[in-house]
Structure 1
Amino acid sequence: MEITGLFVLAALVIAGFAGLESKLGRTDRRIAHVERRLDLILDHLGVREDPPHLPQVTAFLRDGKKIQAIKAYREATGAGLKEAKDAVERMN
């Protein structure tokens, strides 16, 4: 009986994590959708965001150290990996 209880508990924990992961995925998609809409509004209004001045990132790019530049960008701005990679590629 004790082993059966452990299996049931493990199944409940796994199901809980799966549900949480699903909810986080939906939240990420909704945030991305809102960000795209906000970008469209800003483009329509002609509002441009100046990229932050990041001398360390620029120095890493100048030295051909793209990964270090992405890490430095993330540390300086708090951006996620994809956002930092895209920003560094635009700077390059």
Structure 2
Amino acid sequence: MFYNGNSLDFIPILLNEFIIKRTKEILRGEHVSDLLIWEILGIGTILTSIISAISQLRSELARVNKTLNKIALLIGVPDEVTEDVTEELLSHIAEGKKIKAIKRYRMVTGHGLKESKEYVDSLTKEIT
């Protein structure tokens, strides 16, 4: 097991090792007791905590992203999408190739699927 100290990647590894070890013990008939239930509940609690932390981090990241976009607009950072790309996206949308437009937007900007779909949807609303 390797841990670089920069993330929580080691937690799933530890849990996986623990689960494998316990499963082997149970299959051999060793250590089968009420503690198994408590161990499973403990693992569930840990996983719930991890999921909650990830959700909070996503919310914080979205907030920071919105703030950075506002700052970029205030200081005049140019938009990632040029007029040529916008025309190309509009052409794909008009031809009914929305997925191709989303892929092109992702390639140009490096944005994720959700952001790309939202952008293409906003262009679609402008057309109609």
Question: How high is the TM-score relative to the length of structure 2?
Answer: 0.54
Residue among 36, 53, 59 paired with 1:29: 59
More relative contact order, 1 or 2 (CA 8 Å, 6+ apart): 1
Aligned-pair identity in percent equals 24
Are the aligned partners of 2:105 and 2:116 in contact in 1 as well (CA < 8 Å)? yes
Q: Number of residue pairs matched?
A: 91
Q: Which runs of 5+ in 2 are unaligned?
A: 1-30
1:19 equivalent in structure 2: 49
* Larger Rg computed on CA atoms: 2
**What are the residue-to-residue correspondences of 1:3-82 with 2, within 5 Å?**
3-51=33-81, 53=85, 60-67=92-99, 69-70=101-102, 72-73=103-104, 76=107, 78-82=110-114
How far apart, in 2, do the equivalents of 1:88 and 1:63 lie? 13
Separation of aligned partners in 2, 1:54 and 1:46: 19
RMSD between aligned residues: 2.9
Q: Structure 1-normalised TM-score?
A: 0.70
User: Which runs of 5 or more structure 1 residues have no equivalent in the other structure?
Assistant: none
